Amino acid sequence: MPSIDSVILGLLQESSLPDLYKRIIRNMLPDMTQIQKEDIYLALSEAKDKRKALKEEGEKICRKYEDIVGRIETEPDNFLREVEEIEKECEEDKTKQSSGSARLTIKQKLALQSLKKEVKAE
């Protein structure tokens, strides 16, 4: 099992901290108390988790727009028709205001559509 020191060093390497901070922490590490180490570990690992989540969010954005642009390139007419249909639905939903999906934006509906496609493909 890796020691907390080696885990902190690994996290430090991955972190976006200014170099100055990394060097101070690296030098301080041997003299740190357990509480200090845990605080550093928590700060670094929390940031790492958040970055991971943001990276996944970035992946989603890429997939969504890659799908959109792919369809614009290959089937512009169908794509335009679909978008216009969705827009029309949204307008109708807005006036009805009857269900939760009424509040979905065009962007969300497109995302939903590509998600359904992904599920089908799988």
Partner 1 sequence: MVQQSLQPEKAPVSLSMGPAQAPTQKLSFRERIGNIADRLKNAYNNAKNGKSLKEKIFLFLGGLTQDVKKLQVAEKQVDQQEASKVAGVIQNASPDQLTAAIKPEIAGANPESLPADEKAAVDALVPVIGNAFQNDLNDQERTAVATSLGFAGPEKAGKALADSRNKLLVAFFGLKTLKGFKLHFQRNRMGVDAIAGQIDAFKRAIMKGNFKPGSSGTKDLFKFDFVDLAPLASKLPLKTVPTLAAIKDPNWSADARAKVIGVFGQFLPATASNTPALEKAVDTIHDVASKGRGLESKDIATLLYHVEANDFDHLAEIIHS
Binding mask 3-22 toward partner 1 (x if CB under 8 A, else -) reads xx-xx--xx--xxxxx-xx-
Q: Does 118 bind partner 1 (CB under 8 A)?
A: no
Q: Is 121 in the site for partner 1 (CB under 8 A)?
A: no
Q: In this complex, which beta carbon is closest to partner 1, that of residue 17 or of residue 102?
A: 17
**Half-sphere exposure for 68 (CA within 13 Å, toward CB):** 15
Choose, by CB under 8 A, the member of 103, 107, 116, 117 that binds partner 1: 107
For the bound state, the minimum distance from the C-beta of residue 59 to partner 1, rounded and expressed in Å, comes to: 8
Cβ neighbours, 10 Å, residue 44:
20
The answer to whether the CB of 64 falls within 8 A of the CB of 111 is yes
Tell me the CA distances in angstroms from 49 to 14, 41, 42, 53, 106, one per residue in order.
12, 12, 10, 6, 30
* Residue bearing tokens 């902190």: 8
**DSSP assignment of 24-86, as one string?**
HHHHHGGG--HHHHHHHHHHHHHHHHHHHHHHHHHHHHHHHHHHHHHHHHH-HHHHHHHHHHH
What part of residues 36-75 is at the interface with partner 1 (CB under 8 A)? 36-44, 46-48, 50-52, 54-55, 57-59, 61-62, 65-66, 68-69, 72-73
User: Applying CB under 8 A, which residues contact partner 1?
Assistant: 1-4, 6-7, 10-11, 14-18, 20-21, 23-25, 27-28, 31-32, 36-44, 46-48, 50-52, 54-55, 57-59, 61-62, 65-66, 68-69, 72-73, 76-77, 79-80, 83-84, 107
